[in-house]
Structure 1
Amino acid sequence: MTATRVDFHTQVNDKIHYSCRLIRKARAANCRIIVLIDNQEQAKILDQALWSLSDADFLPHLMLNDPLARHTPILIATEINQDQELPHRDLLLNLSHQVPVNFAEFNRVIEVVAKEERDAAEARLRFRQYQQFGVKPSHTIASTT
């Protein structure tokens, strides 16, 4: 088993829009994605943003607990439990403020971090937590294009 790759994308202006662009890019590479987000309100915002990203893109997605989740390449979750059966483990896009308990089950984790100091401070804590788990996260400053 290979180690999970963890990448931090920091100084993001708009986490939802940036995440939609990452999801579009990952889907173009035939990757299946689970997006972990803090709450239902944010999940609804992400859902709407994925539907309206562009007229040319179709990014099929559902909530993780939907009965059709195992057939859907993009899933949105407000929590992932340790013993939860996940339909796929290619990419975990973490928009939440916690290190997912089962992050090591994924091939890759991308942490999206806003410019706001509170979000950046919480991300620094997560960065250190990953290091304590033996992971060496990479760091990318988000492009503004």
Structure 2
Amino acid sequence: MARVTFYVVSNAAPAALLTAACQLIAQQFNQRRRIVVFNQDQTQAEAIDELLWQIPAERFIPHNLIGEGPLAGTPVLLGWDQPAAELSKQRNVVFNLRQQVPELTRQIQEIIDFVPADENGKELARERYRHYRQLGMQLATLPAPE
């Protein structure tokens, strides 16, 4: 059974959620996890890509946008409108930055999702939380890193 952790972002700044996601991606990468990040759109994927490139070279996180490298070649894969089940193959951690729950393969061990600071985003996160609960997943909520 997959574990889902929702990280509550208290900062309303638009970049706060993406910055928190990058910090958590780094933590998961340091645990040698293979990660797929489902972004809402290509613009968001490119923003995550740019933030990951800003990490100092000694802590570099190998990653690529869909179509920019081998599909299974880097530990962190950034996607947006591609089929989620296909992208999550050979990955054990999913970061969901989409507004809806992605369709996933059964081998996913962990899903990391976010509760943004805005009210609309919070309501969409509540819907995802309910959906994950209906699927019988283990749920947890934590504050997002600042």
Matches within 5 A, 1:40-119: 40-81=42-83, 84=86, 86-102=88-104, 104-119=106-121
Letter in 2 for 1:59: I
Residue 90 of structure 1: how far off its partner (Å): 1.1
State which drifts further: 97-106 or 128-137: 97-106
Distance 1:12 1:106 in 2: 27
Match of 1:4 in 2: 2
Residue 126 of structure 1: how far off its partner (Å): 0.4
- Structure 1 gap ranges (5+): none
Q: 1:35 aligns with which of 37, 42, 50?
A: 37
State which drifts further: 38-47 or 95-104: 95-104
What TM-score do the two structures reach when normalised by structure 2?
0.87
Distance 2:105 2:140 in 1: 15
The SS at the match of 1:111 is strand
Distance 1:126 1:86 in 2: 18
Write out per-residue CA displacement over residues 60-97 of structure 1, whole angstroms, 9 at most, x where no aligned residue. Answer: 11123445121110000103426626452210011110
Residue 46 of structure 1: how far off its partner (Å): 0.8
Q: 1:79 to 1:33 in 2, by over 3 A?
A: same
Residue 134 of structure 1: how far off its partner (Å): 1.6
Write out per-residue CA displacement over residues 112-137 of structure 1, whole angstroms, 9 at most, x where no aligned residue. Answer: 22211111110001000111112231
- Structure 2 gap ranges (5+): none
Percent identical among aligned pairs is 27
CA RMSD of superposed structures (Å) = 1.9
For these two proteins, the number of residue pairs brought into alignment is 142
Does structure 1 residue 128 correspond to structure 2 residue 126? no
Distance 1:36 1:82 in 2: 7
Q: Would the aligned equivalents of 2:35 and 2:77 in 1 still touch at CA under 8 Å?
A: yes
Q: 1:52 to 1:83 in 2, by over 3 A?
A: closer
